[in-house]
Chain A
Amino acid sequence: MAFDYDKYIRPGKLPHIWCPGCGHGIVMKGLIRAIDTLGLVKENTAIVSGIGCASRLPGYMDCCTLHTAHGRAAAFATGVKMAKPEMNVILVGGDGDGTAIGGNHFIHACRRNINMTYIILNNKIYGMTGGQFSPATPTGAKASTTPYGNPDPAFDIAKLAIGAGATFVARGTAFHANQIDKLIVEAIQHKGFSVVEILDDCPTTFGRRNKYKSVIEMMNHLKEVAVPVKAAEKMSPEQLQGKVLTGVLYKEEKPEYCEEYAKVIERAKK
């Protein structure tokens, strides 16, 4: 029997705003399958986002959903989790939202190791506002604000998360659809701040300007650059040139923030 996505989609809120060929819907389906696998109760699950195409995702989900100001998903989500530590808190957003305007919220949420899962849909561009370059736009790529090529080096979002102290970091792609839910399941099960970066495509504002002839070509590119962590172990640095590691990249156990904060409250009461 086919998987019933409707169970988790808010009645009357489709169609979504995403363009044909955008990978965001693939990631949303992965998130839905992960929620179903884990048996998360919808009334007890908060999905929090900032601003952008990816940040419209929570509105389509039949859960407690919070669409906040640009870049502020991590701040609002921290509030939800601190007030209700028993809730499942999942953040969804794009590369620009999460690592530019929300960059500080992002790194400090990583540092605190608060028990939430942040799914970053990295399509390397500000899609909704018209294709401005983001901190994830590759050097040399064209954007509406870099018509002669982007001079900035891009963030490696997964490495940024590890460096900032996230205790679970994984990466997948919109092409490897069947892996997405598995990574999200593992991320949600992990106690601490978990980050799942999904490499995505934006045919409308990135593909057009960067000589991708079709969505299929963009998806094929995701397929070609992705190298599973295990496979990468056997590859030389030369072979890994231009490749992106996928799978679970980092995992460690550390004290969780809500639990540590509860101890502070206890100490203050004495």
Chain B
Amino acid sequence: MRGGPSTGMPTGPSQSDIMCAKWGTHGDHPAICLVPASVQETYEEVVRAFNLSEKYRTPVMVMPDEIVAHMRERIVFPEPGEIEVVDRTAPSVPPEQYKPYDTSFGDVPPLAAFGSGYKFHVTGLNKMQDGFPTTKASIVQAEEERQVRKVEANAADIMKWEEYQCEDAEIIVVAFGSTSRSARFAVNEARKQGIKAGLFRLITFWPFPEERLLELSKKAKAFITPEMNLGMCTGVVKGCIEGNAPVLGIFRVDGEPINPGQIVDKMKEVK
């Protein structure tokens, strides 16, 4: 992820591409974006990205920030077979009956490989079940809704987050990537000082765990959202907690990481 408009500060840390990842194109489309926070997790999330991409027939973005990307940490490589590897569903019908977008097989229809005996058409235009372009309103509407739905309806299978000390937390820090490492340090510091703080660490940014945050907001006194941009995640959190608690942002776009002290200071502002 890179900061600044235009070329910005391309070698400095930033978390300001998360909106671009979901909204950066014309047209509604599903987005799966993974935001790992360590070297081990980056490895695991890259594997998961391929799996999700195969399972849902959609591109997946892995978005480590500069700090995570330059980290040197111990990593354990699993033995072959230890990590689940998902392959797309191949068609079960004979080639002459195959339609690449046949929704009678569900929202994610089987996908044949070129060269496997199935010949079919792929286009970027709005399409019918057989893959050929159409401008028929009812089909276009249904197809676009299906493409978004296939990810949104399966969000529970895709989303991943970590709740650290959230059980009794009054102040919940929502963070991701390298910022979440500062946040964890801050939560530990706060607990030592008697502040009931917790960390909600996003591992999947899109789809966003809206329902879980709404649930937590019913008990929390405040949310703190440190992020290396001017409030992108903050806005999303505000949007899903229905005004149940204040959301206090900490924004840095100067190429410096957010440090734990800043987060602890912000906790002390909570009344």
- Tell me the A residues contacting B by CB distance below 8 Å: 10, 13, 42-44, 46, 51, 58-59, 62-69, 80, 83-84, 86-87
Q: A13-B132, A43-B95, A59-B132 are in contact. Are A67 and B118 (CB under 8 A)?
A: no
Q: In the assembled complex, which residues on chain B have CB atoms less than 8 Å from the CB atom of A84? A: 113-115
Chain B nearest CB, measured from A176 CB (Å): 30
Q: In the assembled complex, which residues on chain A have CB atoms less than 8 Å from the CB atom of B120? A: 64-65
- B117, B119, B120: most-surrounded residue (chain A CB, <10 A): B119
Q: Please classify the interface of chain A as helix (H, G, I), strand (E, B), loop, or mixed, using the class held by over half of its residues.
A: mixed
Q: Could you tell me if A87 and B115 are in contact, using CB atoms closer than 8 angstroms?
A: yes
User: Can you report 30 residue pairs joining A to B where beta carbons are below 8 Å apart?
Assistant: A10-B121, A13-B132, A42-B119, A43-B95, A46-B114, A46-B115, A59-B133, A62-B119, A63-B119, A64-B114, A64-B115, A64-B118, A64-B119, A64-B120, A65-B119, A65-B120, A66-B114, A66-B122, A67-B122, A67-B124, A67-B125, A68-B122, A68-B124, A69-B124, A83-B113, A83-B114, A84-B113, A84-B115, A86-B115, A87-B114
Among residues of A, the one whose C-beta sits closest to the C-beta of B122 is: A66
Chain B nearest CB, measured from A53 CB (Å): 14
Within B100-138, which residues are at the interface with A (CB < 8 Å)?
Answer: 113-115, 117-125, 132-133
Size bracket of the B interface: 10 to 19
Q: Could you tell me if A59 and B121 are in contact, using CB atoms closer than 8 angstroms?
A: yes
Among residues of B, the one whose C-beta sits closest to the C-beta of A85 is: B115
- B95, B122, B132: most-surrounded residue (chain A CB, <10 A): B122
Q: Could you tell me if A65 and B115 are in contact, using CB atoms closer than 8 angstroms?
A: no
Chain B nearest CB, measured from A30 CB (Å): 21
Q: Could you tell me if A59 and B123 are in contact, using CB atoms closer than 8 angstroms?
A: yes
Among residues of A, the one whose C-beta sits closest to the C-beta of B95 is: A43
Among residues of A, the one whose C-beta sits closest to the C-beta of B112 is: A64
Q: In the assembled complex, which residues on chain B have CB atoms less than 8 Å from the CB atom of A13? A: 132
Among residues of A, the one whose C-beta sits closest to the C-beta of B116 is: A43
Chain A nearest CB, measured from B112 CB (Å): 9
